[in-house]
Structure 1
Amino acid sequence: MPLVELTADRDGCAIDLVYATADNLTGRPIYQHAACYLHADAAALLRHAIVLAAAQGLRIKILDAFRPAEAQWLLWSHLPDPAYIADPRRGSAHSMGAAVDVTLIDAASGAALDFGTGFDDMRPASWHADTSVPVTAQRNRALLLGLMTAAGFDFYRQEWWHYQLFRPHGRYPLLSDSVLQRGLMRRP
């Protein structure tokens, strides 16, 4: 299987999969089972970023990783706008296990760093280069961008939280929930 599981204990990160809760843009859980998977190529880069963050007293917190194609269709049915949600007919890098949504927390206290907007905020204020957010948030975005790109990830300029492998389309297949022994979309 091309996907590997990441865990907070083994990988030294925090994991809070937003789509396993109702606290997401749909207002209801999409995943019935909260587990974090990435393609092995993306997992290796993320593990490097985790080490880089730890050297600065920070911890990477994963908000979303592999997103089954079925979940992408659910998001699309809620917000069918390709400016915000990848059209599931083309596919999302998340549905290849090639993308991860992350934030940073203080390793000692667990306190979240300020990024100026929440995850999945669909306003221009979420763009990397937006200067309407507080300077502290701009610096935190630049710090996260530096950590993730130093580890080898590409970024999406309209979402400060989204990082992915370079040019994933055509290199990685779209994957459904059935590739997992215990799928995210099925009840445990």
Structure 2
Amino acid sequence: MRLVPSFRRLGSPVLVCLVVAVLAACGDGPDRPVADERAFVSITDVDPTIIVDARYYGDHNFIGSRIAGYEAPKCLLTRQAAAALARVQQELRPMDLTLKTYDCYRPQRAVDEFVAWAKDLGDVRMKAEFYPNVDKADLFRDGYIAAKSSHSRGSTVDLAIVALPAAESERYQEGEPLRACFLPAEQRFRDSALDFGTGFDCFDPLAHTANPAVGGTQRALRALLTEVMSEHGFANLAEEWWHFTLRQEPFADTYFDFPVR
């Protein structure tokens, strides 16, 4: 007796269902994008006009040195986030504006370094610029440092807007006098970005997106950035005017650790 019917006898609908089930089990089906480095792309491969200022690849950041996992000055994002960001850029370019990214995908090992640094209360070499009014012992309590970051999921980006033609950014030299990140634009570190009221990674309430203490021009720029990013699927983090996450991020529960390379 023939106990197992052939696929031909079962008919094509059953065969299709079996194939779909096998693909889903393998994790590569259309509704389950592959959860590894292949799901990411460099933003300049999608839109080469976007400026990349990879702060954690260099030493001009709140730690003062290159961060673990940053092996190249690139902005890596999930393909979905990169495509959405390219659409934001397409909207800004006719206004002689361009996006500039500071950080994109962040390996978990980088987050681990942030946590270890925050526990070392004696290392305050960059305090005068990035957190002059915050006691380092309070960085966890105040939410500036955490054990997990949405950046590690690959669809979060830190960025600003630059007017074209882009001005040259000031070059940071280790050991030079530091200037508080919340000072007026002409007094703090000279970034090529428009004046959003603070510098990037400013651990201060003035960096909160809707802080009414920010000047009118700066509020307008924050509103422009938030609006155009929102139109293309990104949500802002209220505590950081520069921080946006794709609402429909493909890996909402996955924290990656491959290096930026």
> TM-score normalised by the shorter chain: which range applies?
0.7 to 0.9
The alpha-carbon deviation at position 156 of structure 1 amounts to 0.3
Change (3 A) 1:9 1:48: closer
Q: How does 1:1-188 map to 2 (within 5 A)?
A: 1-7=38-44, 10-30=47-67, 31-79=70-118, 81=140, 83-87=143-147, 91-110=148-167, 111-166=192-247, 168=249, 171-177=252-258, 183-184=259-260
Are the aligned partners of 2:207 and 2:240 in contact in 1 as well (CA < 8 Å)? Answer: yes
Change (3 A) 1:112 1:8: farther
The alpha-carbon deviation at position 29 of structure 1 amounts to 1.2
- Percentage of matched positions with identical amino acids: 31
Report the TM-score, using the length of structure 1 for normalisation: 0.86
Runs of 5+ unmatched residues, structure 2 = 1-37, 119-138, 168-191
Are the aligned partners of 2:154 and 2:251 in contact in 1 as well (CA < 8 Å)? Answer: no
Change (3 A) 1:167 1:47: closer
Give the CA RMSD over aligned residues. 2.1
Report the TM-score, using the length of structure 2 for normalisation: 0.63
Q: Would you identify which runs of 4 or more consecutive aligned residues in structure 1 move more than 6 Å?
A: none
Runs of 5+ unmatched residues, structure 1 = 178-182
Q: 1:180 — aligned with what?
A: none
Report the structure number with the largest CA radius of gyration. 2
Are the aligned partners of 2:41 and 2:77 in contact in 1 as well (CA < 8 Å)? Answer: yes
Instruction: Give me the whole-angstrom Cα distance separating, in 2, the residues matched to 1:28 and 1:121.
Output: 17
Q: Deviations over 1:86-136 (max 9, x none)?
A: 32xxx3111111100000100224442101101111111000111212211
Report the count of equivalent residues.
177
Instruction: Tell me: higher relative CO, structure 1 or 2? Use CA pairs within 8 A at least 6 residues apart.
Output: 1
Instruction: Give me the whole-angstrom Cα distance separating, in 1, the residues matched to 2:153 and 2:72.
Output: 18
Q: Which moved more, 1:139-148 or 1:103-112?
A: 103-112
